Amino acid sequence: MLQIHVADHIATLTLDREQRRNALCEEMVQSFAAALESFRTAGVRCVVLRARPGCKVWSSGHDIEELPAAGLDPLAWRDPLRKLVREIETFPAPVIAMIEGSVWGGACETVFACDLIVAARDATFAATPARLNVPYNVGGLLTFLNAANLRLAKEMLFTAAPISAERLCSLGILNQVVDAAELEEATYTMARRIAGNAPLSISVMKEQLRILAGAHTMSPEDFERIQGLRRVVYNSQDYAEGIRAFKEKRTPEFKGE
């Protein structure tokens, strides 16, 4: 499910689960974590996360088949998607997301959790909890807020519509947008530049920025209230309907209950 290549302190991880449109499943995330651990010991100074060249779908997001039945938190701490985002945020070197094709749901959050994003001009990004009636978790919403801004995060989360790479780049959400033919060169030029700099300084600044970006106070009462509201969503008929409709390849009929 993952191809791994390391050269000149730069590691490349290629998502390789085309038959399921690179859906992010438990097994893939375990391989991802193991790969990052090996990169850590090998002193890798920059990671490029990509899909196979020419892909139409970079990743279709969380593996919907692995979402729990109604009544269980679908994005709890141990969920593969939550683990994947934490692995990226805590890896002691920059992770560059190299994007072509469409990015969906939890894969969009995963890309936004990367340190840098270089995308092909025709790539698109869609946040999909509202498409499935999934109650996104607090940390996940913070990823969107830190990567974008409140107005854009609301548009992406409420409409679930694919947003173009060019528009996101014009808003400062992506670092670079290039023609597909130049995507590899642009990405690895950035990766080589990073790998040629001081790794200690970069890894400490990455950790400092992670801590600063997550420094939000929230009272225990507010947190409990949010978790209670999320329970209403994943306990709802609509939650079961969202997953059932995907499996039956039809449009869900949400009733708000």
Residues classed as catalytic = 62, 106, 136
Nearer to ligand LCV, 21 or 206 (CB): 21
Q: How far is the CB of 196 from ligand LCV (least distance, A)?
A: 35
Q: How far is the CB of 186 from ligand LCV (least distance, A)?
A: 25
Q: How far is the CB of 46 from ligand LCV (least distance, A)?
A: 26
Nearer to ligand LCV, 65 or 179 (CB): 65
Nearer to ligand LCV, 46 or 108 (CB): 108
Angle CA(53)–CA(116)–CA(57) in degrees, nearest 5?
A: 30
By CB under 6 A, residue 129 contacts ligand LCV: yes
Q: How far is the CB of 163 from ligand LCV (least distance, A)?
A: 14
Quickly count: other Cβ atoms within 10 Å of residue 232's Cβ. 11
Q: In the set 88, 132, 153, 195, which binds ligand LCV (CB under 6 A)?
A: 132
By CB under 6 A, residue 15 contacts ligand LCV: no
- How many chain residues interact with ligand LCV (CB under 6 A)? 20
Q: How far is the CB of 192 from ligand LCV (least distance, A)?
A: 32
By CB under 6 A, residue 17 contacts ligand LCV: no
Q: In the set 47, 55, 63, 103, which binds ligand LCV (CB under 6 A)?
A: 63
* Residues contributing to the site for ligand LCV (CB under 6 A): 20-21, 23, 57, 60-65, 67, 104-106, 128-129, 131-132, 134, 136
